[in-house]
A and B are shown apart, each in its own frame.
Chain A
Amino acid sequence: MTTGSPTPGVTRSAHEIARAVRNGDESALSVLQEHLEAIGSIDGEVHAFITLLDDQARSDAAEVDRRVAAGEDPGPLAGVPVALKDNLCTSGVPTTCASHILGSWRPPYDATVVERVRAAGAVIVGKTNMDEFAMGSSTETSAFGPTCNPLDLSRVPGGSSGGSAAAVAAGMVPLALGSDTGGSVRQPAAYCGVVGVKPTYGAVSRYGLVAFASSLDQVGPIARSVADAALLLDVIGGHDALDSTSLDRPPSRYAESLCLLDAGGHAPGEELVAGLHVGIVEELVAGADPLVARSVRAAAESLASYGATVDDVSIPELAYGLPAYYLIAPAEASSNLARYDGVRYGSRVDGPDVEAMNRATRAAGFGDEVKRRIMLGTYALSAGYYDAYYGKAQRVRTLIIDAFSAAYQRFDVLLGATAPTTAFPMGAKVDDPLSMYLSDVCTVPSSLAGHPAISVPFGRAEDGLPAGVQVLAPALGESVMLKVAAAVEAAGASIAPEPK
């Protein structure tokens, strides 16, 4: 494996592409061709994609062009190439969750977010690599081999949405969808130097997202800018009658409000954050590598210079987030993954009777990390242990929600690191699950609370790798969260060398 940056990809934003295609200045087909070429030259080394959909993408792009020619508006993502994490169901297209157990299963339906992205005129180019069933923080548990960090091929891209983050960072697509259960969008975004959003639980439909931990899973956008992430979030969000946990709210218009401020080129930080009260959460900084902690402090200083009031805040309850998360998520996963039993779909290993067939299928089909979590979760829910583990973890969850509410009485948003370190070397943690789990320590609190959070790159740490700054907001606080993130982004752009 070589170190160093591969061929640069396409750097244009989704906003630019959509504008050009909608105006008829550029065809969706040529945009697609440009990106497919980038994928062709880059993905051999990065391995961000599990499945490429060139043919389907070409016909979708042609349809966008036809609509533009006919004077119709294909939508806000007209002609924008989008990659989907491979746990989002796509009708007739393999959806693997990076697991052998799903075999060659092709869903008979599109996830709600996939339908919405398509309806907005986007062109879906492929399905991206991930940790198996989204269980992991490095994309190394994929049954189809790891994805490399495009900024340094010897390092992991983070996970579990590592393929989506790498594809965006490498310029193979301007936008991708990931899923975030305990940090799976934000942490890889931080490691790859891109923007990743975990929306409020219920803000985006989970229908068609293959479940890992149902009470935590949210689909979220990955982009190279906050404005582009907001554009995709507007498209995928809003009520869905097929998801009972979906919040009954009209579609959002975050991108518009950011772009109005963006009229003069870059968003003026003052207009975004002046008068806001920002809290730096000690627990989300103290444990972080000094390289990363310094970025968070620097970002906070920039916000202060734009007129925000910045204070330190301690929320000691957040320390219990990680253990609570590693009980609740595996417990739900142990139930969600029971259906992969070889009876109805996916791979099957035969046996003399049904139980033997179930056992052989699951033994062969699931990887080690998935098995570890199924066992953890099964144990946590077992008779006699439920109260001590799952029950207690749920009580911790309530404590964390209460602690956040108290903090949000004082602060509009909170700031912390996205992950304790920058991208770590491939293989460094695969044999040490606990240290791997620790890379989620800064992201799980928002997940447990169901709150939105975003990771924005802020410069480079001394090791040359990007550091992610996390902006946390209360439930449905996406609007203020995105504005603060845009300000952090603007400040970061002025201090960091432009990534190649």
Chain B
Amino acid sequence: MTGDGAGDQVSGGESQVSGAGDQVSGGESYGDFEPVIGLEVHCELRTRTKLFCGCPNSFGDAPNTNVCPVCLGLPGSLPVLNAKAVELAMRIGTALHCDIRPSSFHRKNYFYPDMPKDYQVSQYDEPINVGGWLELPDGSRVGIVRAHIEEDTGKTTHAGGTGRIHGSSYSLVDYNRAGVPLVEIVSEPDIRSAAQARLYAAELRAILVATGASDGRMEEGSMRVDANVSVRRRGASELGTRCEVKNLNSLRSLTRAIDYEVRRQVGIIEKGGAVAQETRHFDEAQGATVAMRSKEEAFDYRYFPEPDLVPLAPDAAWQSEVAASLGPMPAERRSRVSELIGARGGTAGDGATSASQIATVVELGLDGLVEAAVTSGVDPGLALARAANEAAAGGDAARGLDPAGFTALLKLEAARKLSATQAKAVLAEMLLHGGDPATIARAKGFEVMDEGELATVVRQVVDESPGEWHRYLEGEEKLAQFFVGKVMKATRGRADGKAVIAALDRLRS
């Protein structure tokens, strides 16, 4: 086994998708029918090198630059298993309460141009992680069947035609991704709605990030989801015929595709038809699932033990080392943040916003920032908002923020020494280049705007808009924002919104 050394960070990050994006209504209803859903999640592991060779595992490089005889499957080349990938797989298994077992690799044989050897090396009947469960934020549990190691394929671009392989005039293959380590996490069919599927995927992503196994970037394909969907009459115990929906590359597509697929299957059954077992593809543009191949067309993968690799049996010492190195998982960290905020008499907006912000900061690993700030007396609502919104926008850089600096910034803002707009600008600078917030504020020319100066500006703005001022005096409260905007413009963001409203009030009374 070759050592991968320390699992380097994948650099060059863009902003990360937060858990708090597009919420699903949760109001799906399929009449007399109940969906039964199981998810297969492919997670690219954040190793420095590929699964079986020393090529860099990195996204976005020029095509076919991170390749060698092994990951190109050249004749005579042989795989050597990356120990770091095994460690990350064990971290995932441990976090999902799986048993770590002696395991082995098989070959999954089928022809596809982006698969250099025309077989994929994967774990089959002896996966490394078996059994387990994942608890969703609502307390429900989804069973985990297995989480096994396999290699990724290359990427094909079809030119001409529809962009699909059929009808294209030629195809280009990039093998940079070929041989990148994956863990495939297969859930039990315990999921009962598109909303729950989304919660599961979001929670799993948070866990994958927390274990250090993945960067969780769905938009870069680091995490890809296939859904096995069937429906049955409520109260029935037997399962309906299932379809596998592939290509779910965001939480939004996952929700839309499952919702569409459930309705499609219900529609067929209600018309007296029978659902055909098939693999379907989610077409983002149409918002519909489209048949790819039927059960009869399914491949016979001719699995057999990979003779080029030896069995993998992590010893007890390695397993406990991995278990000991795992920090607290998202569920525990969320409750820790909630408790802290509760204990500080949190004023964090409404409950839903607060819960969603807590989920976001935990998923992105920014809960340490919030804890540091709140413990030092910063208002929990402010700390959560700045961490979940502005800091989160900084992507990977946010994890590098110094908790003391973050706390100092929020204290400046809370003391009205910086306006909200100024505080956000200082935070953006800290994310880009680091540094002390007070120093950055001074360098940017941000200074305390005293009440007298603010009152003068407010007076000017009121004088410039006598009509609006009159209506405001008559009780048209929403015009307050009109004046705040004017003051902000005049002070180039130096004023504090709340202070402006206070000044307006004083002027009105």
Q: Which chain B residues border A13 with CB–CB below 8 Å?
A: none
Q: Which residues of B contact A111 (CB under 8 A)?
A: 76
Known: A338-B109, A358-B111. A245 touches B76 (CB 8 A): no
Question: Which B residues touch A243, using CB under 8 A?
Answer: 78, 80
Q: A214-B307, A381-B302, A382-B300 are in contact. Are A339 and B113 (CB under 8 A)?
A: no
The complex places the Cα of A436 from the Cα of B119 at a distance, in Å, of: 30
Stretch at the interface among A164-172, A292-300, A341-349: A341-349
Instruction: Say which one of B165-173, B189-197, B198-206 lies at the interface with A.
Output: B165-173
Asked whether, in the complex, the Cβ of B119 is within 8 Å of the Cβ of A244, the reply is no
Q: Please tell me the size bucket of the interface on A.
A: 35 or more
A242 touches B78 (CB 8 A): yes
CA distance A245 to B109 in the complex (A): 21
**Chain A residues, Cβ within 8 Å of B111:** 338, 341, 355, 358
Given the interface contacts A339-B116, A358-B111, does A108 sit within 8 Å of B69 by beta carbon?
A: yes
Tell whether, in the assembled complex, residue B75 and residue A244 are in contact, meaning their CB atoms are under 8 Å apart: no
Say how far A248's CB is from chain B's closest CB, in angstroms: 11
Q: Which chain A residue has the least Cβ–Cβ distance from B108?
A: A335
In the bound assembly, the distance between CA atoms of A123 and B397 in angstroms comes to 56
Contacts of A107 in B (CB 8 A): 69, 74-76
Which residues of chain A come closer than 8 Å to B77, judged between CB atoms? 207-208
Cβ of B355 under 8 Å from chain A? no
Q: Is the CB of B308 within 8 A of A244?
A: yes
B226 CB to nearest chain A CB (Å)? 21
Bitwise interface map of B from 105 to 118 toward A, beta carbon under 8 Å scored 1, else 0 = 00101010100111
The B93-110 residues at the A interface (CB cut-off 8 A) are: 107, 109
Contact of B308 among A245, A341, A344 (CB under 8 A): A245
A492 to chain B, nearest CB (A): 36
Docked-complex contact B307 and A382, CB < 8 angstroms: no
Chain A contacts for B166, CB-based, 8 A = 353
The answer to whether B79 has its CB under 8 Å from any CB of chain A is yes
**Complex Cα distance A241/B2, Å?**
8
What's the least CB distance linking A202 to chain B, in Å?
Answer: 10
Residues of A within 8 A of B78 (CB): 206-207, 242-244
Contacts of B318 in A (CB 8 A): none
Contact A354 B304 (CB under 8 A): no
Do A341 and B113 form a contact, CB below 8 Å, given A335-B107, A383-B300? Answer: yes
Residue B73 lies at the interface, judged by CB distance under 8 Å to chain A: yes
A338 touching B118 by the CB < 8 A rule?
Answer: yes
Chain B proximity of A203: nearest CB distance (Å): 15
On whether A215 and B75 interact (CB within 8 A), knowing A108-B69, A241-B80, A381-B302, the answer reads no
Tell whether, in the assembled complex, residue B307 and residue A332 are in contact, meaning their CB atoms are under 8 Å apart.
Answer: yes
A390 interfacial by beta-carbon distance below 8 Å: yes
Per-position contact with B for A20-39: 1 when CB-CB < 8 Å, else 0? 00000000000000000000
Q: How far is the CB of B286 from chain A (nearest CB, A)?
A: 24
A334 cross-chain contacts in B, Cβ below 8 A: 109, 302
Chain A contacts of B173 at CB under 8 A? Answer: 343
Given A245-B310, A386-B304, also A97-B75 (CB < 8 A): yes
Would you call B79 and A244 a contact (CB within 8 A)? yes
Instruction: Write the nearest CB–CB distance from A24 to chain B, whole angstroms.
Output: 36
**Which A residues touch B74, using CB under 8 A?**
107-109, 345
Considering the chains assembled together, what is the distance between the CA atoms of A215 and B2 in angstroms?
21
Chain A contacts with B in 347-403, Cβ cutoff 8 A: 353-355, 358, 378, 381-383, 386, 390
Minimum Cβ distance to chain A for residue B297 (Å): 13
Contact A335 B116 (CB under 8 A): no
Q: Is A284 close to B, CB under 8 A?
A: no
User: In the complex, which of the residues A109, A208, A382 contacts B302, with contact meaning CB atoms closer than 8 Å?
Assistant: A382
B residues less than 8 Å from A358 (CB atoms): 111
B81 within 8 A of A: yes
Is A89 touching B76 in the complex (CB atoms < 8 A)? yes
Q: Within 8 Å of chain A (Cβ to Cβ): is B420? A: no
B116 pairs with A209, CB closer than 8 A: no
- Give CA–CA (A383, B304) in the complex, Å: 11
Chain A residue at minimal CB-CB distance from B158: A354
Within 8 A of B (CB), among A401-437: none
How long is the Cα–Cα vector from A243 to B74 in the complex, in angstroms?
14
Residues in chain B near residue A471, CB distance under 8 A: none
Which of the residues A97, A209, A211, A381 comes within 8 Å of B304, measured between beta carbons?
A: A381
Q: Does B76 lie within 8 Å of A210, measured CB to CB?
A: yes
Q: Mark A432-472, 1 if CB is under 8 A from B, else 0.
A: 00000000000000000000000000000000000000000
Q: Which 9 A-B pairs have the closest CB atoms?
A: A338-B118, A215-B307, A381-B302, A214-B307, A210-B75, A208-B76, A89-B76, A383-B300, A343-B113
A-B contact pairs, 28 of them (CB 8 A): A88-B76, A95-B76, A107-B69, A107-B76, A206-B78, A207-B76, A208-B76, A208-B77, A210-B76, A211-B76, A214-B308, A241-B2, A242-B78, A244-B1, A244-B81, A244-B308, A244-B309, A332-B307, A335-B107, A338-B119, A339-B73, A343-B113, A344-B72, A345-B74, A354-B171, A358-B111, A382-B300, A382-B302
